[in-house]
Amino acid sequence: MVDAVIPNPVLTQLKAIFNAEPGADPVALVWPEPIEPIESVIQVAGREVRLVFCPSELALRERLVGHQPNERNLVLLTPFDESRLGKDVLARLWGNEPKRISPWRTLEQLLQVRQIDPRLTVKHYRWIADALLNSYEAYRGAIRFGEVLDFDQAWQALALGWLGYTEAEVDLDLLLRWSLDPATNSRVKALPAEVLNHLGDWLKPRLGDQFPVVLSLWQQGHAGDMAAVGLICSMLYRPGLKPSQSLFLARGRLSERYLGGARLTEDTLTRFGQQTADFLVRQRRQSGAPSISACLTLAEQILASLDLADLAIDSDLLPMAFGQRLDRFAKALQRAIKGKPLIPAQAALRQMQRHQLADARRDQVRRAELAVRACAWLNRETTPLDSAAGMIQDFVREGGFVDWARSHVWLGDEHEGVSAAYRALNQRLTERREQMNEGFGQHLAALAQGDSMGQGICPVERALDEILVPLAKQRPVLLLVLDGMSQAVYRELSDDLVRHTWVELQREGTDGPGCLLAALPSITRVSRYSLLAGTLGEGVANDEKKAFAGHQGLKSLASNKYPPTLFHKSDLQQPGSGALSSSVREVIAGQEHRVVAAVINAIDDDLGGGAQVALHWSVAAVHLLRQILEAARESGRLLVMTSDHGHVLDHDMTYRATESEAERFKPGEAKVESGEVRVRGQRVIQPGHAVVLPWSEKIRYAAKKKGYHGGASLQELVIPLGVYRNGGETDPIEHWTEVPHRVPDWWQWEDAREGVAEAPPAAVPSTAKQPEQRQADLFAALEPKAATDAESDWIGQLLASSVYQQMKARHGRSGIDDAQLERLLRHLSERGGQQMLGALGKALGIPGLRINGFLANVQKLLNLDGYPVLSIDRAAKSVRLNVDSLKTQFEL
């Protein structure tokens, strides 16, 4: 008797009765239809109840007479109301009458409300009560109804009970999030007809003009496809799309298949599409890519079914769009490599950067950025260099950046078209580098003889005397030697170093970064020894330790108790741990040792491997570097970062057998072959002060590995040199000044956003054959308009104004003098009042770490009464000057 199928209204009525009065017994309900079986035992509100259908008054009497109070609660179903039953029968019943099953009355009891909103009890909404009763278990206990069941709460309960919609409020974002549930379509399909037909009563007041779109999708069985269809609308109704027959046909196909051909305005679908795309971006950010992956897959399938796959390229979300943007980028880059304008490739790259997959494909996007920069260098106008000094300075300022890009571009890409473009680019870059190295090889005699190369170019053996000693006279110093670090590695590493709040210093009177020149041949036992000894020679680690501690210039600054100290690889690591040795850390973090040096072999060790993997060189990538830097920060040490030599990577090198075991040099008496040069001079630490060196990066004499050194290429001989201090230190250092992180103009193309147009939107595919048309030039860069004398006279008026003088007096400690302010205002004025933060800092000669503080002090002077004369957009990393507001506020 436990398998009976009990009508839901009967069950819900009984639950309401027993919840309100657990002792109700016996209970009679008016119910006209027999049930099978006529007697059963069921569970109601946590108790067993005997349920019996009584078709006559006699059957009722028999059951009542036979029922004992200590038995299960008795429930009698009968077609008779109180008017057709005797008084003796009524007297035995709970409540003295058979209870009519009123859905609203049942709801009052179930929900424990005192009143039903009169708007619900009209005949038109009788179905709401039945729908609420039939879904009661799904929303039971989840909603607080208070004393009155009102219209909004009724719909909230219906939405939860039938649709699994858990929110109290309704808006498009919430509905879109709900629609991502895989069960959405089946839930809507299972809605009772009355609920489906009256959805407008719930949605219309809450969705406004988006209601017709949502309702059409639901009525066509596509509630679960809302987000996918909305994303497609964001492409089909994208502002700026050129009207065409193909576009209108595509929109029509979408409407017929998913919206039932509903007459919806273009503005409505445009807003629906944009809101959906924005929602999906937020949803991905908040809940991760998997939360919208099914939606994106469906959108791609819909696009394909509509023959609109090419339109996906305009989506920042669809995975296929990223591939299409790679296609576009590859074609644009190939054209740029052949000498065509680079701006289309930059625009295509910007599309890739904007795509939501850009973070997951970070390495791929970074390679594309490096490729665009390298191509910009390749296509720029150049002046031939005819001196060793000029070639060295050019390599320091630009060549390291080029080689940074080359090292990553050489690895290619998983996208076939992009990889082909990279091969073509790498070939051009390699040809250019070989030409430069060949020209540099003609000047090696001067380097070997020790001729002066001019300002900022210091032979490695003079670095202690000319750089370290003068600095150590003013501050404790850490000399950090990253063995084998090339200019390319240094440029990438220093890019990360400044993000760790280290500020670069430059010697006053110089106009760019300096460098060291390796001793010859450029091998560790020669060039590193010469660096750490302060004199030309050769030796191993123990020799370096003794020579460093005995250097006269360094000894004069130290005490006998705390002499100049050098740590090698074997000293740095704590035994039994991968951490920095505690004793080494104590020395670096303390100030007793005026001069400390450390040699890190991470880069040189990496070159010894055979795997052709391009590491991203950062502070974290170099073992122990972060810990060493933190120790130096504690003691306020100046940081001198350099190397003993650079290196060349094995990018299709040619092996040449020699009698020696050297990687990249031969004895002085050896035969000179193509790509090589014989060098003689006092800086050659070989027998007879002579050696044969390859100027070409394509030659090796040793077994194959990742990289080599010892030769005479720019990459090996020009050693990076950087002097830094902790950003928390502000005291002046004599003869040195802070400088912004410097990169070539062609490297920072992304800072000039106004000069790079967006890629044009995809055209809607057309089956009609179109005549070939020459694409208009959409990428013309805008040159900033220089201010005339009359236009810039307001700056002089400002500085002389009484209001400005009052602001200066009020903020006397701002640290901004009139010359600095004038330079800033004139610079921004000449560029239309706006510029990127990085470019502004470079133009003003202010390090990136200081630029925000500088601008904050300017704002104190100019933003009178809170008016945003000078504003900073942190998200866009840009600065804006409102000249009109400035003139008004300062009464100019």
The secondary structure of 736-804, three-state, reads: EEEECCCCCHHHHHHHCHHHCCCCCCCCCCCCCCCCCCCCCCCCCCCCCCCCCHHHHHHHHHHHHCHHH
- Shared domain for 339 and 419, answered yes or no, is yes
- Measure the CA–CA gap between 274 and 234, rounded to whole angstroms: 5
The amino acid sitting at 635 is S
Dihedral sign of CA atoms 525, 527, 529, 532 in order: negative
d(CA 269, CA 212): 10
Alpha carbons 538 and 528: distance in angstroms, whole number = 8
N-terminal to C-terminal alpha carbon distance within the chain? 96
Domain boundary among 288, 314, 340: 314
Residue closest to 236 by CA, chosen among 253, 251, 214: 251
Instruction: Looking at the structure, tell me whether residues 591 and 508 fall in a common domain.
Output: yes
* Domain co-membership, 151 together with 261: no
Positions in the chain whose pLDDT score sits under 50: 1-2, 751-757, 767-790
* CA separation for the pair 799, 374 (Å, rounded): 43
pLDDT of amino acid 423: 98
Whether residue 621 is found in the same domain as residue 532 = yes
Q: How far apart are CA 436 and CA 561, in angstroms?
A: 49
Closest to 13 measured CA to CA, from 86, 107, 80, 81: 107
Instruction: Write the single-letter amino acid at 710.
Output: G
Crossing angle of helices 290-305 and 245-258, in 10° steps, is 120
Specify if 673 maps to a domain: no
Global confidence as pTM? 0.78
- pLDDT of 117 reads 86
Q: Would residue 697 count as lying in a domain?
A: no
**Separation of alpha carbons 60 and 670, rounded Å:** 123
Same domain, 713 and 564: yes
Alpha helices for 410-486 (secondary structure H): 416-441, 444-449, 463, 469-472
Q: Are residues 161 and 174 located together in one domain of the fold?
A: no
| 398 and 504 within one domain | no
Q: How far is CA 728 from CA 9, 508, 698, in A?
A: 75, 21, 45
Give the residue from 597, 707, 609 showing the smallest Cα distance to 643.
597
Residue 188 shares a structural domain with residue 156: no
Which segments within 37-145 are labelled E, that is strand?
Answer: 39-44, 47-53, 73-78, 115-116
Which is it for the CA torsion 566, 502, 523, 513, positive or negative?
A: negative
Total number of domains constituting the chain: 6
Residue 442 corresponds to which tokens in the numbers above? 């003609």
- Count of all residues that appear for the chain in the document: 892
C-alpha distances out from residue 149 to 111, 115, 158, Å: 8, 6, 12
For 566, other C-beta atoms within 10 Å of its C-beta total: 21
Predicted confidence at residue 23, as pLDDT, reads 87
Residues 6+ apart with CB under 8 A from 467: 458, 640, 721, 723
Q: Does residue 570 sit within a domain?
A: yes
DSSP alpha helix (H) spans, 210-318: 211-219, 226-236, 245-258, 266-287, 290-305
CA distances from 793 to 357, 787, 797, 816, 822 (A): 49, 10, 7, 20, 11
Closest CA to 218 of 250, 195, 249, 248: 195
Residue 762 pLDDT: 64
Q: How far apart are CA 554 and CA 544, in angstroms?
A: 14
Q: Residue 316: which residues within 8 A CB-CB, separation 6 or more?
A: 277, 281, 354, 355, 356
Report the pLDDT value the prediction gives residue 77, as an integer from 0 to 100.
93
- For CA atoms 121, 124, 130, 136, give the dihedral sign: negative
**CB atoms < 10 A from the CB of 621, how many?**
17
- Cβ-count burial 101-121 (b if 16+ within 10 Å, e if not): bebbebbbbbbebeebeeebb
pLDDT of residue 6: 81
**Two tokens at 423?**
């091969």
**Within a domain: residue 834?**
yes
**What is the tally of helices (H) and strands (E) in the chain?**
40, 25
Please give the DSSP secondary-structure letter assigned to residue 646: -
The Cα–Cα gap between 6 and 38 comes to 10
Both tokens of 215, joined, read 């309702």
Q: Which of 737, 850, 734, 721 is nearest to 506 (CA)?
A: 737
Closest residue by Cα to residue 796 from 697, 869, 890: 890
Residues 383 and 408 in one domain: yes
Residue 591: inside a domain, yes or no?
Answer: yes
* Beta carbons of 667 and 627 less than 8 angstroms apart: no
| In a shared domain, residues 424 and 396 | yes
Is 36 among the domain residues? yes
Q: Are residues 329 and 267 in the same domain?
A: no
Report the DSSP beta bridge partners of residue 641. Answer: 480, 722
Residues 402 and 747: their CA atoms lie apart, in Å, by 9
Query: In Å, what is the CA distance from 804 to each residue of 39, 798, 858, 866?
Result: 96, 7, 12, 15
Among 83, 101, 119, residue at a domain's last position: 101
In which residue are the tokens 């077609």 written?
Answer: 79
Residue 813 within any structural domain of the chain: yes
Alpha-carbon distance 692 to 666, whole Å? Answer: 5
Considering the domain architecture, whether residues 188 and 244 belong to the same structural domain is answered as: yes
**Within a domain: residue 581?**
yes
Domain-terminating residue out of 146, 168, 190: 168
- For residue 99, the model assigns a pLDDT of 87
User: The domain containing residue 369 runs over which residues?
Assistant: 319-442
Closest by CA to 128, choosing from 188, 184, 202, is 202
